[in-house]
């Protein structure tokens, strides 16, 4: 198993995290949507998460983004990150972890399913919606 150091991000990691965000966007064929900028290298993976609350199930950990550089995949790094996130969720009394995966990202879907994830879009029929900034501005200006 490859040696790596798993730790919480620090402000000095911002350039590397941004680089990984851009790699993730490229992997998902959405690179034109990343508008942030920064430079630097040394971090090889990241998980961005936050805690939220669902009135039916209680507190949960929401995994916003999760990425390991291609050349470092297959060494158990992603599994360790997911294990650390699971431990964080348990220690913070979360009932579960939620996240989105692009339908076209079969490798990630398989990764999560092998670790016990359930596809709620199939089981419960939920749909993802978004109101973009222009829509928010329009609604907020309504009297």
* Domain assignment of residue 82, given as a range: 47-141
The domain tally of the chain equals: 1
User: Is 29 a domain residue?
Assistant: no
The residue among 106 and 34 whose pLDDT is bigger is 106
* One-character DSSP codes across 51-115: EEEETTTEEEEEEEEEEE-GGGTTSSHHHHHHHHHHHHHHHTT-SEEEE---TT-HHHHHHHHHT
d(CA 111, CA 49): 18
User: Is 81 a domain residue?
Assistant: yes
> What's the CATH number where 94 sits?
3.40.630.30
d(CA 17, CA 21): 6
User: Is 79 a domain residue?
Assistant: yes
Q: Tens digit of pLDDT for each residue in 81-119?
A: 999 999 999 999 999 999 999 888 999 999 999 999 988
User: Is 27 a domain residue?
Assistant: no
Catalytic annotation present for 112: yes
Q: Is 46 helix (H, G, I), strand (E, B) or coil?
A: strand
- Is-above-0.85 flag for pTM? no
96-99 and 58-68 strand pairing: parallel
User: Is 74 a domain residue?
Assistant: yes
Give the DSSP letter of residue 11: G
Q: Mean of the pLDDT values across residues 50-58?
A: 94
Q: pLDDT band for position 38 (50/70/90)?
A: low
User: N- to C-terminal Cα distance for the chain?
Assistant: 60
User: Is 67 a domain residue?
Assistant: yes
Q: Using an 8 Å Cβ cutoff, are 6 and 84 in contact?
A: yes
User: Is 3 a domain residue?
Assistant: no
Q: pLDDT band for position 137 (50/70/90)?
A: very high
Q: Using an 8 Å Cβ cutoff, are 97 and 85 in contact?
A: yes
User: Is 89 a domain residue?
Assistant: yes
């Amino acid at each position: 198993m490859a040696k790596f150091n798993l730790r919480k991000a620090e402000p000095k990691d911002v350039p590397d995290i941004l680089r990984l965000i851009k790699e993730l966007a490229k992997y998902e064929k959405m690179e034109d949507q990343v508008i942030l900028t920064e430079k630097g290298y040394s971090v090889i993976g990241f998980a961005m998460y936050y805690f939220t609350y669902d009135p039916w199930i209680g507190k949960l950990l929401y995994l916003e983004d999760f990425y390991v550089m291609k050349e470092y995949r297959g060494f158990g790094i992603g599994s360790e990150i997911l294990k650390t996130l699971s431990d964080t969720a348990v220690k913070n009394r979360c009932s579960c972890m939620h996240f989105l995966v692009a339908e076209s990202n079969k490798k990630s879907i398989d990764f999560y399913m092998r670790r016990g994830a359930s596809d709620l879009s199939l089981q419960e029929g939920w749909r993802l919606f978004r109101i973009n900034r222009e829509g928010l501005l329009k609604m907020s200006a309504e009297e």
